[in-house]
Amino acid sequence: MSEGKKKEETVQNEALIKGREQKERRRTLVALSFIAPNFIGFAVFTLIPVVFAFVLAFTRWDGSNPIQFAGISNFTKLFSDKFFLAALKNTIIYCIGTVPLTLIASLALAILLNQQICGRGIFRTVAFFPYVASLVAVTAVWKMLFSQSGPVNAILYYVFHVENKDLPQWFVGNLVMVSYILFSVWKFMGYYMVIYLAGLQGISKELYEAASLDGANTWQKFTSITWPQLKPTTFFVSVMLTINCFKVFDVATLLAGGDNNTLTISSTVLVHYIYQKGFIEWDLGYASAVAMVLFLLVLAVTLIQFKGEKNYANS
Amino acid sequence: MKKRKFFSAVMACSMVLALTGCGGNSTTPTTTQAPTTTASQETTTTAATTEASTTTQAQPSGGEAVTLKWAIWDQDATPYWIALKDAYEEKNDNVTIELIDLGSSDYMTVLATQLSGDTSTFDVVTVKDVPGYATLVQKNTIEPLDDYISKANIDLSLYGGATDQIMVDGKLYQLPFRNDFWVLFYNKDLFDKAGVEYPTNDMTFEQYDALARQVSSSDFGSSVYGAHYHTWRSAVQLFGVLDGEHSILSGTYDFFKPYYEMILNQEADGICRSFTNLKTEGLHYSAAFSGGDVAMMNMGSWFISTMISNLQSGDYDSSLCGNWAIAKYPHAEGVEAGSTLGTITGIAVSTGASNKDAAWDFVEFVSGTEGAKVMAETGNFPAIMTSEAMDIISSLDGFPQDEQSKAALEVSNLYLEVPYAENVSEINSILDSYHSSIMSGEMTIDEGIAAMNDAIGKIINK
């Protein structure tokens, strides 16, 4: 009797477990089917190509003929390649110039446009406008403004009485990096300003009220409340900015490339060099090796930034 | 319950299929086809089936309906694609030529990328330049044509030596159908105004330099540039290869020096526009010459048809540049007049072509004498420059009427801007980059040339 009952119970239990398992499996399947579209797209168009690029860096391949293993020869070649070294140097200079300047400019704009000023909406739109405007169109305008006989040089000539022969050539030699940096700060600060604005609006007003009661001045409020409260935003902005700066291609091509997209030793950047080696000269192995260097560079900088973020969180 | 399970499984599968299917299809040309092609394809199919028995012409595939996909650029701005297609289809009514326009600015990059994915994307491809040709050959995407050439008994000497400069290990992978050469365009009005003699068909560089300086004027409001050099390196460096002893494959480039000196001195003296300004402002050479303040400009013969058509349509102001003419390229002391630079445009059969014999038949037509006639009628210079083709061009309405301009079309020695070599695209990039450095003043002439010698020397001696 009791044995029969027991048996019945186990059968019931098993059915229950089975049902639960089935339910579980179904839920997993449904979940997977939701993830699948995005993940398959990501895998096919990003993950697999990235892994493939790692492999390619150690080969010689022109995209059609069989792949030949080349060991580390692509990497040893890098150190004697004048154009690669120039591109690396230029990209780093560009980042060092652009990241802090954009950060400061966008923060300043955000604080300014967070005040109760008349026409705030219009000013916010104006500041955001460069980011929305087509890159190709605005580079054309910048090239006109900064051309040899353009308005900027005209101001230098008529207002500051710079000699004609001393007028700067904005897209040649050392100045070309300055042009890239100025352009990028102007173009991208609007976007980061919006992120900072969101951050500013998340700061509790009570903190400022309390500070005012304690007699803190504006600068003290900024250093003791605004800046620390904005740390997570600043972290996000700096990571995104750094990554975007290392990826610079369009700005360089459009400002200094000319009609046959040729960059010189002083104006070339890493991604342009990767494109040239990969898709003009079809040396995909070498191009991947350059891409690896770019990857390691971005990885290193981002790790340092993450470390800084952690330290901040602990303190 | 079961229904829902089944439904979710179907959903998941369809998502997977849609995604992977989308990835696989991206290389097929269906999306790039012109909407009219399917219609025209259908009509030709029916036409071919009804007329197949009546046609007695030597058909490449026995009268069967064939569609050839042909990679080209700028269909709307270039009159000869359609003209060649029509002429060929008229002769072979079982064949439909489907034009696939890849745009001109990065045509060779797009073409090479598409062919890397799938060589059957195109049956026939146009090859825009020699570095691009080298890429296509090395990627095994175009067929060697030697067997076809010997079978069809084609006389390569008709191409004036151009085919010798694009041989790859003794094999030929394309046939040129268009052959442009560089001439000197000049604006007669500006010479008349300055009271200076016109350029002649036999000028040394010293005479040319002196003439440019004489005709230029810096008077406010009516300033005239004696010469104009476009930003391409060919417009400056390649004066140096006209002696026939030097080439861009030499590995040492000291022979560029006198020409860089001549042009940078002209720039410093305001005889020509500054390279840096041209590059930043992106001034096109056609805008520079048609603006009416450039007395002489060295440019390829393709600009002749541009001038004619734009003056006729009124896009160029004929009071500014309507009185134009051409002269032979200037040359170094001791070099024969009429020595000039050439740029060939070739046509090739893709290795993935579904019907190679039909594709070859079209290539043979385009690059042969019949194609040459079509090219000349549209105002372009065919690779086979017969006296008939020359007459057609020089009697085009709008071609300069003076005898000298006609005589300027006679070429004595033609040197390709870029002859074939294995690493030619790498060499090309390096020369381009240092050319920009020298012309913009980032490097001195000596520094730039030393850098070219160093970088290209390494490649050649590898």
Identify from B17, B105, B110, B279 which residue to disrupt to test chain A contact, counting A C-beta atoms within 10 A and taking the largest count: B279
Q: Nearest-CA residue of chain A relative to B459?
A: A81
User: Does residue A32 or residue B17 have the better pLDDT?
Assistant: A32
- Binned average pLDDT, 10 residues per bin, chain B of 462 residues: 51 43 36 36 37 40 81 89 94 93 90 89 94 92 94 90 90 94 95 94 95 89 90 93 90 95 95 90 90 94 90 92 95 91 94 93 94 90 86 89 91 90 91 94 95 92 76
Q: Which residues make Cβ contacts (< 8 Å) with residue B374, sequence separation at least 6? A: B80, B83, B84, B87
- For residue B128, give Cα distances in angstroms to A59, B22, B43, B71: 29, 31, 32, 11
pLDDT number for residue A313? 58
Complete DSSP assignment for A27-72: HHHHHHHHHHHHHHHHIIIIIHHHHHHHHHTTEE--SSSPPEE-TT
Q: Looking at this protein, which amino acid is placed at residue B139?
A: K
Query: Tell me: the pLDDT tens digits for A110-150?
Result: 999 998 888 888 999 999 999 999 999 999 999 989 988 88
C-beta separation of B272 from B228 below 8 A? yes
Q: Which residues make Cβ contacts (< 8 Å) with residue B19, sequence separation at least 6? A: A37, A40, A41, A44
Is the pTM higher than 0.90? The answer reads no
Closest by CA position to B40, among listed B6, B75, B85:
B85
pLDDT number for residue B250? 87
B422 at A interface, C-beta within 8 A:
no
**Start-to-end C-alpha separation, chain B:** 70
The DSSP 8-state label assigned to residue B125 in this structure reads E
Measured CA to CA, the distance from residue A292 to residue B290 in angstroms comes to 48
Query: Which tokens sit at A259?
Result: 């009609």
Q: Nearest-CA residue of chain A relative to B427?
A: A281
3-state helix, strand, coil in chain B (%, to 5): 50, 15, 35
Q: Which residues of B touch A44 (CB under 8 A)?
A: 19-20, 23
pLDDT number for residue B210? 96
Phi, psi of B298 (to 5 degrees): -85, 125
**Average pLDDT of every residue of chain A:** 90
Identify from B139, B442, B456 which residue to disrupt to test chain A contact, counting A C-beta atoms within 10 A and taking the largest count: B442
Q: Which of A36-45, A183-192, B154-163 has the lowest mean pLDDT?
A: B154-163
pLDDT number for residue B64? 81
Measured CA to CA, the distance from residue A16 to residue B173 in angstroms comes to 73
B179 forms bridges with which residues in the sheet? B344
Q: Per the CB < 8 Å rule, is A32 touching B9? A: no
Average pLDDT (A235-262) is 90
Cα three-residue angle B113-A263-A177, rounded to 5 degrees: 130
Q: Per the CB < 8 Å rule, is B5 touching A26? A: yes
pLDDT number for residue B460? 86
Q: If interface means Cβ-Cβ distance under 8 Å, which residues of chain A face chain B?
A: 26, 29-30, 32-33, 36-37, 40-41, 44-45, 62-65, 82-83, 140, 143-144, 146-149, 169-173, 258-260, 262-266, 268, 276, 279-283
Q: Which residues make Cβ contacts (< 8 Å) with residue A81, sequence separation at least 6? A: none
B14 at A interface, C-beta within 8 A:
no
CA distance B116 to chain A (A): 6
Task: Please name the helix (run of DSSP H) or strand (run of DSSP E) that holds residue B70, with its range, or none.
Answer: strand B66-72
Measured CA to CA, the distance from residue B352 to residue A251 in angstroms comes to 38
pLDDT number for residue B160? 81
Measured CA to CA, the distance from residue A180 to residue A268 in angstroms comes to 11
Print burial letters for B144-181: b (CB count within 10 Å at least 16), e (below 16): bbeebbeeeebeeebbbebbebbebeeebbbbbbbbbb
The DSSP 8-state label assigned to residue B336 in this structure reads P
pLDDT at A173 over 90: no
Average pLDDT (A191-207) is 93
How many Cα atoms occupy the beta-carbon half-sphere of A143 within 13 Å?
A: 23
Q: At what angle do helices A82-113 and A175-201 cross, to 10 degrees?
A: 40
**Cα Rg, chain A, nearest whole Å:** 28
Closest by CA position to A78, among listed A88, A66, A90, A69:
A88
pLDDT at A27 over 70: yes
pLDDT number for residue A150? 87
pLDDT number for residue A314? 53
The DSSP 8-state label assigned to residue A279 in this structure reads I
Q: Per the CB < 8 Å rule, is B425 touching A282? A: yes
pLDDT at A263 over 60: yes
How many Cα atoms occupy the beta-carbon half-sphere of A113 within 13 Å?
A: 25
C-beta separation of B94 from B66 below 8 A? yes
Please report which confidence band the pLDDT of residue A12 belongs to, taking 50, 70 and 90 as the band edges.
confident
pLDDT number for residue A104? 96
User: Does residue B342 or residue A312 have the better pLDDT?
Assistant: B342
pLDDT number for residue A165? 81
CA distance A24 to chain B (A): 12
Closest by CA position to B329, among listed B264, B388, B417:
B417
Q: Per the CB < 8 Å rule, is A63 touching B281? A: no
Q: Which residues make Cβ contacts (< 8 Å) with residue B368, sequence separation at least 6? A: B154, B384
pLDDT number for residue A91? 96
pLDDT at A312 over 80: no
How many Cα atoms occupy the beta-carbon half-sphere of A69 within 13 Å?
A: 1
Q: Under DSSP, is residue B100 helix (H, G, I), strand (E, B) or coil?
A: strand
